[in-house]
A and B are shown apart, each in its own frame.
Chain A
Amino acid sequence: MAAFIPPETAVKTREEISKSNLRGALHWRYFRRDWFKFVFGIFLPLILFMIFIGYPMLNTIYLSLFDWNGITKTMKFIGLQNYIQLIHDPHLSLSLTNNLLWFVLTLIFPLMGGLVLGAILSSGRIYFTKVLMVLLLLPITFSMVTIGTMFGLITNPVFGALNQVLASIGLGFIHPDWLGPNLAIYTLIAVSSWSGLGMTTLMFNAAMGQVPDELYETAKMEGARAYQTFWYVTLPSIRPIIGIVTVLVAIGSLRAFDLVFVMTRGGPFRRTTVLGYMLFDEAFTKYHFGYGAAIGTVILLFAAVLMYFYIRQNVLTANN
């Protein structure tokens, strides 16, 4: 690491030339001059990161090569056996399917819903958009335990409000089993979308607000209708934001755990298990910590891929 290089390499005075010290490898002089930036800007965060994030990440990968029940003091080395077992595990495909479903549906509903709502709110056809936005964003203040409990009470088959509402509008004969094996994952995704809709709407609304007026004027001149303006003007202009939000949605669907834990605990016979919950179940309920670490490594792999896309999107946005 060379010394800190200010963006402007054009130096002004002789003094500043000696101060900027551009060339050369790391020299104690640079360290002494820039010590504050080094220590607090690089070392301290990096060290803390390594301790609390980096080392656990690496250790998870290491742990996945062992067989350990979390109680005994010794672990048994078994190499890649956990992974072989994982590939053959039917629950893995269940989890992956659920995560994928989560991602796709969250893309469709909160994301697209956010786009539509953002457009509506920024279209000027409604009064009090600020108030609406505040109300829409309210769910981010709730913890997943809260949301899970709220919706647990609503979808309860015995006294839940949802079935009552259906009955009152004449659809009582359907009486769906919201947390039953067929619907549970969709119910969970719907609840998660409910809580995420405000955030996506907010982001898109803000992005749309930054689209220059000229584009809209041009569109109006050419006689474009509302949806045409939306499709041909608004959407392309905020494409980078859509990219970022998509990656955020993907990250969110990978991290899905709290809601599953609170509402269904993996669902009727594991129908709503997701990767995060499968890890928790294997490691903390069945005491298979090595196997759980293998699942954790898989999650880390996915997370790495998503990180790559996130960085790429950020760079794209910055360059825009």
Chain B
Amino acid sequence: MDNIATNKTDRNPSKEREISKTPYLARIIRRYKLDKILFTVIAFALILIYEYPVILTIMNAFKTNAGVMLGPLSLPIPPTLQAFIASWNSLDFPLLMRNTAFLAIVGTLLAIALSAVPAYVLSRFRLPGGELFFVILLTGMVLPQQAIIVPLYAVMQRLGLLNSLWGLAIVHGVYGMSFTLLFLRGFMASIPTELEDAARIDGANDFQVLRYILIPLTAPGIAIAASLNIISIWNELFFALIFLTDPNKFPVTMGLQLMTTSIQFMSWNLPAASIIITQIPTILLYTIAYRFIQRGLTAGGVKG
């Protein structure tokens, strides 16, 4: 957004006087936008420093263990896939990823399914107690997981959902409902109601209105909520740690945890390689859905 940049088409007399007074060099800089280029270069250098931990991890993943010992900053030359192969052989990454994908997808679908109707209700109708209802459902966002883990465990045990991916997905769905509800409500509130009113006049009931009109219109919002939910479930550790005991059901965060804490196991290039393997899907999702993610985060803060 060019708020402060100079605009050559402005015929501002005071500005012109200013320009004629400024030294030759300053004019050159401004004409060729050299200051902008300089700032861009500086900005990219700073971003590079900011991302350097990631770069370092990537580099270290391509070294041998002894290579990491020698120097973390050195280039991996020649790069070796030893760490990746060893990681792949020790943890069943396809299984871990399958489990995590299951959790992420089912959890997200559940969160969206649960939030869609309340979002519709809260955005369209003035409900006495509606705000209270909204507030109650928001607690899922604020609540630290450790605070309620013990009773939650008892609940899961009573329902027979322990050590089950379905159970964990349900928990994720319910906890994801809070943010999704917040977001979808805001999103739906901004959709004009004419189409709905028209449909109602034609005699559509609630479910039909929702299904044929509102959901398609909200599709971008749902995509946004889905992206954020998937990333958040993919990266979640605590619930998986407590509720799952069968190693065949572990998600990737548990696998990474295994790898970095087993004392006999620790090396330095393997954690780096494992990190890359486990985070590739989220990074891919991020690049593909960046636009959605961006809108989702800003809307959650901006609109409310």
Contacts and interface: CB of A to CB of B under 8 A. Distances in A.
Interface of A: 1-2, 4-7, 34, 36-37, 40-42, 44-46, 48-49, 51-60, 63, 70, 120, 122-128, 132-146, 149-154, 159-161, 164-165, 168, 194, 197, 199, 202-203, 206-210, 213, 216, 220, 226, 229, 241, 244-245, 248, 251, 254-255, 257-258, 262, 275-277, 279-280, 283, 289, 292-293, 295-297, 299-300, 303, 306-307, 310-311, 313-315, 317-318
Interface string B250-274: 0001001100100000001001100
Given A45-B177, A125-B5, A229-B4, A296 B146 contact: yes
Contact of B253 (A42, A145, A293): A145
Interface residues of B, number: 98
Nearest to A128: B40
Chain A CB count within 10 A is highest, among B50, B127, B279, B301, for B301
State the majority secondary structure of interface residues on A. helix
Nearest to B143: A303
B38 to A, nearest CB: 10
Given A1-B129, A257-B144, 18 more contacts: A36-B117, A36-B207, A45-B118, A51-B159, A125-B39, A126-B36, A127-B37, A128-B44, A140-B286, A141-B279, A141-B282, A146-B256, A150-B57, A159-B69, A160-B72, A161-B56, A251-B141, A275-B144
Contact of A292 (B150, B155, B271, B290): B150
Contacts of A53: 139-140, 143, 148, 174-175
Contacts, number: 307
Nearest to A4: B125
Residue of A126, A145, A149, A280 most packed against chain B (CB within 10 A): A145
Interface of B: 1-5, 35-37, 39-40, 43-44, 47, 50-51, 53-54, 56-57, 60, 68-69, 71-73, 114-115, 117-118, 120-121, 124-129, 133, 135-152, 154-155, 159, 170-171, 174-175, 177, 181, 205-207, 231, 234-238, 253, 256-257, 260, 268, 271-272, 275, 278-279, 282-283, 285-287, 290, 293-294, 297-298, 301-304
Given A160-B72, A248-B301, A292-B150, A258 B133 contact: no
A209 B1 contact: yes
Nearest to A265: B261
Contacts of A206: 294, 298, 301-302
B238 A257 contact: yes
A21 B302 CA distance: 35
Contact of A153 (B60, B114, B205): B60
A149 B174 contact: no
Contacts of B206: 34, 36-37
Report whether over half of chain B's contact residues are helix, strand or loop; otherwise say mixed: helix
B145 A2 contact: no
Contacts of A251: 141-142
A299 B144 contact: yes
Contacts of A124: 1-5
Given A42-B118, A42-B133, A49-B174, A59 B144 contact: no
B99 to A, nearest CB: 15
Given A36-B206, A52-B174, A153 B117 contact: no
A169 B243 CA distance: 47
A3 to B, nearest CB: 9
